[in-house]
Structure 1
């Protein structure tokens, strides 16, 4: 074979292999958006380690660029649509910020459903698979999680009975927690999470319902002094459901091996790991947030009126869901069954 022929073959091989090499070396950057500050658990304990994992498992072909505190624009209730539209590739948000749009995600937000964030988060993923795939068909869910036990915090008075709620303006994250507050006797106020510190400092709200972990991050403990917990041996007063979802077109555009990386780091185990991070964060956050406060714990023996409110809200919600074409009672029953099942593991 002549030198000229060998040269032509080599050149042809390089021409064929070059695009392949470039494709393999191409770095895919995923825009990841959320509404918390960059120091929050959501970014430091969950998103940053998750992003590091997918970078490692993809040999750095896939990386994240995280945009905290709504840096891509818009408001927290718009995050889910931003993922659907491709403004962000991945978002972490509360489906409940868009009231009524994702009804199957609400069932775990009923009072006295969860005993831990880890078991509740595993249940949340299972409930999505069983009931919620149509609700979330515009995006690709990667995880569903709940936070650890939610409590009541205010700057007006201690809350020991339902009568103490009367006249208090309290902020809650979702429509079901707002309904719960109204049934307990308070006046719910709708305030976006980033605006809550300012609202409390100006008296627009007297307090809020939140888990301990969030409070120091937002410096809310500096504006309230009375905290009410329910008996820790009982299911928590409330929780909120979060979701991490991905733009479907972005996922579809990935090579098959990178899809496998995303899939391997999604689902029930990822959801449960997020819940576990919430559970583990609570003790230290409580030490910071409760310092100098009056903390009252409602004993199980006094929880009857509180549980009655929760039971009635569950009945009302099941009827509402059934009227919308869902099997509301089946979702309530499944939520209770799953949270009890996973709590024992």
Structure 2
């Protein structure tokens, strides 16, 4: 087999089509990078306290089986997941909504862009590889992302403060070309499913235990993590819930049963001890 790393076959938003059209047998794709194409799948990127990719994949796979498979005709879904919770990482301390107002914050896209706007900050789009320089020069004041990327890009050197919060992240997964899947012998297909259905659990990568170690590694780099007091956190998450209400209203106007899907997502999260901060209180 041949592996094409990163963007060797095309840019991130093209990865789904690269596989579905047969340029590659299997590949990782990010649904959030093609806005409007997988509208309900963005439920997986709502702000929730998901602290391990193994858990995110359990939730994503469950949602795929319950309702999201309708958005992925013609491909074999190997696994579907939301990402682990993203914090807000900044050059200067942030402790209140008032501190956030006017800051330029790099966004991964999707719901996170609207969360950043809702807090009164300005979402900025730039490649992750440019964030270090952007923060160093003051082009941006911070970034919303998950701890693993802070380590991978050494952003702990320029972002010395973080608000322990959840901005959710992106919806993503692994798909296989339908024809390529058919070529696998039927007696081997269950093995592929068993090994790949939750690759993070299979490999032990980015599990809840690994995540905790990463957070410790970051604090060892002298990054100050700030936990919002309950009343202040409620101010932030009420705004996130408003984003959910608006998003659902827009999708319902297009005939999609978005509210029902958000309720399903909350159920799957609660089964695994995960709280969805962006879930409107009145929908419980």
- CA 220–202 in structure 1, closer or farther in 2 if over 3 Å, else same: same
2:122 is aligned with 1:187: yes
Using the size of structure 1 for normalisation, the TM-score is: 0.72
Give the C-alpha shift of residue 120 in structure 1. 3.5
Gaps of 5+ in 2: 275-284
- What corresponds to 1:212 in structure 2? 147
Matches of 1:99 and 1:78 in 2, distance apart? Answer: 12
Q: How many residues align?
A: 273
Q: Which residue of 1 aligns with 2:214?
A: 285
Verify: 1:318 aligned to 2:212, yes or no. no
Contact 1:122 1:272 in 2 (8 A): no
Within-5 A mapping of 1:225-236: 225-230=160-165, 236=166
Q: Give the deviation of 1:329 after TM superposition.
A: 0.6
Q: Distance in 1 between matches of 2:130 and 2:26?
A: 23
Question: 1:282-320 CA deviation, whole Å, 9 max, x = no partner?
Answer: 223223333222321112232111121121111111112
> Aligned to 2:47, which of 106, 111, 119?
111
Q: 2:85 & 2:172 partners in 1: Cα distance?
A: 14
What is the match of residue 173 of structure 2?
243
Match of 1:97 among 29, 33, 45: 33
TM-superposed CA distance for 1:223, in Å, is: 2.2
**What residue ranges of structure 1 are gaps of 5+ in the alignment?**
1-28, 30-64, 231-235
Provide the residue aligned with 2:279 in structure 1. Answer: none
* Larger mean Cα displacement after TM superposition, 104-113 or 208-217: 104-113
**Distance between the aligned counterparts of 2:180 and 2:224, measured in 1?**
49
Would you say the 8 A contact 2:106–2:126 is kept in 1?
Answer: yes
Shift of residue 191, structure 1, vs aligned partner: 2.1
- Which whole-Å CA distance do the structure 2 matches of 1:175 and 1:221 have between them? 24
| CA RMSD, Structure 1 to Structure 2 (Å) | 2.4
Q: Counterparts of 1:1-345 in structure 2 under 5 Å?
A: 29=1, 65-70=2-7, 72-112=8-48, 114=50, 117-155=53-91, 157-230=92-165, 236-267=166-197, 269-270=198-199, 277-290=206-219, 291-343=221-273
Report the alpha carbon displacement of residue 195 of structure 1 after superposing the two structures with TM: 4.0
TM-score by length of 2: 0.86
1:60 aligns with none
C-alpha separation between the residues in 1 aligned to 2:193 and 2:56?
A: 21
Structure 1 residues 188-227: Cα deviation after superposition (integer angstroms, max 9, x where no partner): 1122334433444444432211121221111222222221
CA distance in 2, matches of 1:125, 1:250: 21
Residue 283 and residue 260 in structure 1: after superposition, are their counterparts in 2 closer, same or farther (change >3 A)?
closer
Q: Using a 3 Å threshold, how does the CA distance of structure 1 residues 144 and 275 change in structure 2: closer, same or farther?
A: farther
- Of 102-111 and 286-295, deviating more is 286-295
Report which structure shows greater RCO (CA 8 Å, sep ≥6).
2
Structure showing greater Rg: 1
- Aligned 8 A contact 2:52 2:208 in 1: yes
